[in-house]
Amino acid sequence: MFDKFITNAGSWLSGKGPSSEIVFSSRMRLARNLKGVPFPSRANPAQREEVLKKIEGVHAKIKHLDKSFFVKMDDLPGLDKNFLIERHLISKEHTSTETSRGLVVTGDERIAIMVNEEDHLRMQVITSGFDLPKCWGILDEIDSELNKTIAFSFHPQIGYLTACPTNVGTALRASCMLHLPALVFTKRINKILELLAKISFTTRGLFGEGTQALGNFFQVSNQVCLGPSEKELMENLVGVVNQILTQEMDARDVLLKKHKITVEDSIWRAAGILTNSRLINTREALSHLSMLSLGLDLGIIKGIKKELINNLFIIIQPAHLQKIEGRQLKESERDYIRAEVLRQKLKS
């Protein structure tokens, strides 16, 4: 069902958009719950099914979702669920054994709505590069259109009610996925992460909550939803990300001025391994792809499209390799296929 996603052109992996050499993607996410219906964790099977059917019945009538499709998570094999996690379309929690979970997703993958995850609705818009206002504009329209036919749980004093208290208020999470190899290389990243925590911003890895910063990727998002308006939350994150962008660019200048030979050696070694290895695991591949991406940004590597590297960060993940092969693979087989995919893609 989702095979075409692997070759999606123009999606959030396109490598285009403002500051896309550092900002891998921008995402805005809203949590919403239906008025008068218990949160998914407290709802009985009939109530969960009611929510699922209601969204299935209205999603195609909503602006921006008229060409989307609806799937029931119960109908998907485990491989497809892991595939969707790797493409940032669902959370790991959405693959649990709870029944009556659903997903609305557009063909270009920019818009996705999880149904009956932690909240009744988790709506997200994701785009390539640094463009939070664009994401919010689309998401706000979807939210408003849905609210015309579905009443959401809302308290006049505190805002939208959510299963997790940290989301109460706007229930908005704004985030940017940042590629920060120079800050890691110059050992400045820890101070920045410590500062972000002090000013109420959360930092996660490539695949969200509970994951490590593989490939020098760091997802930065707001931690507080109660108090500031949606616009203020977005503007606060824009300000923080701009400061991180400046720090990363400064670190890249330092690398070129003081450590050019060392950096060039690391980049070309990475290119050599990626284009010649016969076995490579996910962690090592992501590390080398990170250096290759940096080499492209610095003009050291030429002739490779940013979109290709961005897609490789995703398609070398385990579920993607198994979708490409059309069968379950052992870890050793995945390491072999991963190396083969990297050689073919980077040499073509």
Task: For residue range 109-136, list pLDDT tens digits in order.
Answer: 999 999 999 999 999 999 999 999 999 9
Question: Which pLDDT value is given to residue 331?
Answer: 94
Q: How confident is the model at residue 212 (pLDDT cuts 50, 70, 90)?
A: low
Do 304 and 188 share a structural domain? Answer: no
In a domain, 334, yes or no: yes
Domain ranges, residue 85: 27-169
Question: Which pLDDT value is given to residue 210?
Answer: 47
Do 34 and 55 share a structural domain? Answer: yes
Is the pLDDT reported for residue 208 higher than 60?
A: no
Structure tokens at 174: 């704004």
CA pair distance 11, 314, nearest whole angstrom: 13
The identity of residue 91, as a single letter, is S
Do 235 and 290 share a structural domain? Answer: no
Helix/strand/coil percentages in the chain, nearest 5: 50, 15, 35
Is the pLDDT reported for residue 209 higher than 70?
A: no
Do 242 and 283 share a structural domain? Answer: no
Q: Which residue among 134, 169, 204 closes a domain?
A: 169
Do 70 and 31 share a structural domain? Answer: yes
CA pair distance 218, 195, nearest whole angstrom: 14
In a domain, 3, yes or no: no
The identity of residue 283, as a single letter, is R
Q: What is the pLDDT of residues 4-30, one digit of tens each?
A: 888 776 688 888 999 999 999 999 999
Backbone angles phi, psi at 220, to 5 degrees: -105, 130
Q: How confident is the model at residue 280 (pLDDT cuts 50, 70, 90)?
A: very high
The number of domains in the chain is 3
Average pLDDT (37-54) is: 95
Q: Which residue among 169, 187, 216 closes a domain?
A: 169
Structure tokens at 218: 């760091």
Q: At 68, which CATH number?
A: 3.30.590.10
Q: Which residue among 246, 280, 299 closes a domain?
A: 246
Do 265 and 216 share a structural domain? Answer: no
Question: Which pLDDT value is given to residue 272?
Answer: 97
How many CB atoms lie under 10 A from the CB of residue 64? Answer: 15
Q: How confident is the model at residue 348 (pLDDT cuts 50, 70, 90)?
A: confident
Query: How open is the CA angle 129-118-58, to the nearest 5 degrees?
Result: 75
Do 191 and 99 share a structural domain? Answer: no
Is the pLDDT reported for residue 325 higher than 60?
A: yes
Do 180 and 164 share a structural domain? Answer: no
Question: Which pLDDT value is given to residue 217?
Answer: 94
Give residue 171's region: left, alpha or beta (phi > 0; psi -120 to 50). left
The identity of residue 348, as a single letter, is S
Average pLDDT (166-177) is: 95
Helix axes 331-347, 306-315, angle to 10 degrees: 170
Number of Cα atoms under 13 Å in the Cβ half of residue 142: 31
Do 336 and 283 share a structural domain? Answer: yes
Question: Which pLDDT value is given to residue 194?
Answer: 92
Do 37 and 142 share a structural domain? Answer: yes
Q: What is the pLDDT of residues 56-113, one digit of tens each?
A: 999 989 989 988 999 999 999 999 999 999 999 999 999 987 789 999 999 999 999 9
Do 119 and 159 share a structural domain? Answer: yes
Which pTM does this prediction carry? 0.92
Q: What is the pLDDT of residues 145-162, one digit of tens each?
A: 999 999 999 999 999 999
Do 163 and 122 share a structural domain? Answer: yes
